[in-house]
Amino acid sequence: MKTTYSRAELLKIDDPFEYEFGLPLKINDLPSSVMEEDIPDSKTKLLEKLAEGYSLIIQKPRIPNEKVFTTLQLLDENEFMKLYTVNETAFTEALWDLLYESEYNLHWSFFLLKEMKGVVFELPYTGGGTRSLTLSGLNANILIHLRLEVDESVTCRWD
């Protein structure tokens, strides 16, 4: 199954990213289109996109900090969260296993991003109130959220 939503269709939905598409982050810039599709295998799709130059972005709580994260590039951190970027050479089987186990963890989010230049990442705080990682500055970019367990993807495009 493959369904594509235009910008005009997205404008008609109250909060398309949280409720309609279930993204684990907030996006300040409305995309030009969003495509939902079933994919044969999430891991294969992830590896293909990393090979194409996409970056895997991972947000996780500061503690615990599993061994697999010691070699990854830290993008940002605050009192509660850490934000990492992973390229094709840094991706490991142990990281895949951890992502798969943590897919539904409330404080984790991960997605693929085509371009990092100009993107602003605003980390959430969990003391007092929880909110999602927020992205802005996504001009001419592609963001892919993989639903690992059900082999689905949501692709957001900005022109």
Domain locations in the chain as residue ranges: 22-157
pLDDT at 127: 56
Longest Cα separation, the chain: 44
Backbone φ and ψ for 67, nearest 5 degrees, come out as -55, -35
pLDDT at 106: 78
pLDDT at 131: 67
pLDDT at 132: 79
pLDDT digits (tens, 9 = 90+) for 98-139: 999 999 887 889 999 999 999 999 988 755 555 678 899 999
pLDDT at 145: 96
Task: Extract the residue ranges of the chain whose pLDDT is less than 50.
Answer: none
pLDDT at 126: 59
**Which residue type is seen at 47?**
L
Contact 143, 110 (CB under 8 A): no
Contact 73, 85 (CB under 8 A): yes
Rounded distance between C-alpha atoms, residue 119 and residue 85, angstroms: 13
